[in-house]
Amino acid sequence: MPINAQPMDPLSHVFSLLTIDPRHPARLDARGSWSLAFPGSSHVRFGAAVAGNCWLIVEGEPAPLRLEQGDGYLLTRGQAYTVATDPQLASEDGFLLFRTQGGHVRHGEGPDPCVSLVSGRFTFDELSNELLLQVLPRTVHLKAGGDLPQVLQAAIDILDYETRDRRFGASLVTHHVAQIMLVQALRRVAASPDHPPMGWLAALADPRIGVALKLMHEQLDRRWTVGELARAAGMSRSIFALRFKQLTGNAPLDYLLRLRMRTACQALGAGHTNVAGVAYEIGYHSESAFSNAFKRVMGAPPKRFLPPKAPAAGAAASGRAG
C-alpha cells in the first residue's frame, strides 16, 4: 500500500508517525485524607479524575492544580507529581503502593471511594518525542465542563469503566482512549489564548501558513518550491519564508525534508517496501539522493531502519540440526 494512499490533515499525519507504547492504565480508589507522591520518569503521563476531586501537585508548576470530576491532565516531560486531598499533607510513596498492590489500588478507609483516579503513560520513540515535545507545554490541564468536547468526557467515562475491573481487550480500548486524550490536548493547546502554540502546531493554527502546511502533508511526494507554497498561502515569498521559520523553527523546505524522512523512517520500519520504493513514494527518483538525504537527517542509512529479516527455512533447520 502506498505511503500516501489517503490524504491526511497535518495533525492526523503527525499522529500516524508516532510510535506509541501505552501501558494498561492504573486506578486509584481512595478514601479519607491522603497524599501519594510519584517519581519522575522518561514517559508522557496522562490521567483523569473519574470520581470526586483532589489536588495535583506537579514538579516545576508554581501552584497545585485542582482536579474536579471529569478533568484530565497530561504531564509531557514525565515530571514527578503528587495527588492529594490536601496539598499540605505529608506524602506516602505512591509508586511503592502500586508496586505492592498491582494496577488497582484501594487506599484509605470508608464505605465508598471518595476519589477515583485513572492514570497511565505513553512511551514514544525519539522522533515521536521530538515531534510532540516541541509543541506541548509541560503540563496540560483538560478541565471538565465548559468547552470540553463531549468526546473527551466520553473517553474519560470509558477509562472509568475499563479500569474498574479487568476486562477482555481493556488494554486495546484504553490505548485508543489515551490517544484521544492526547489529540484533545493538542487541540486545546492550539486554541488556547493563554499559551500560544509552538512549532508545527502553531503553523497549523495560522490561517495562512496552515494552508501551506496542509498541502505539504497531503502531497508529500510533490517537489514543492517556496514560491508555490507562498502563493498557496497568499503571501510574498520572503514574508512566507520568514513567517514559516518563525513558527516552526525551520525553513519551509527543511521542514518538508524532515517530514519526508520521518515518514520514510516509519515506512521502512513497518516493512512497507524496500528502500528504492520508499524513496520513490516520498518524491525521490534517485535512491542514492534519498539515501544521502536520509542519512543527513536521521544520522544513519535507510537500511538501518529496515525490520530484521527472518532466517530462511533451510538455515533455521540447519541451525536446529546443529
Mean pLDDT in residue range 73-79: 89
Residue 2: pLDDT over 60 = no
Q: Are 182 and 47 in contact (CB under 8 A)?
A: no
Could you give the CA distance from residue 108 to residue 166 in angstroms, rounded to a whole number? 22
**pLDDT tens digits, one per residue of 281-310:** 898 989 999 999 999 998 899 998 888 765
Picking from 67, 80, 44, 56, the residue whose alpha carbon sits closest to that of residue 182 is 44
CA dihedral over 132, 76, 122, 113, signed as positive or negative:
negative
Coil, strand or helix at 277: helix
Cell of 128: 515521536
Residue 271: pLDDT over 70 = yes
Picking from 255, 267, 268, 269, the residue whose alpha carbon sits closest to that of residue 297 is 255
Question: Which H/E stretch holds residue 275?
Answer: helix 275-281
CA distances from 172 to 21, 22, 23, 266 (A): 11, 10, 10, 21
* Lowest mean per-residue pLDDT among 244-248, 249-253, 312-316: 312-316
Name the percent of the chain lying above pLDDT 90.
38
Could you give the CA distance from residue 56 to residue 60 in angstroms, rounded to a whole number? 12
Mean pLDDT in residue range 8-24: 68
Picking from 225, 179, 221, 128, the residue whose alpha carbon sits closest to that of residue 25 is 179
Domains by residue range for the chain, with CATH: 11-191 (2.60.120.10), 206-305 (1.10.10.60)
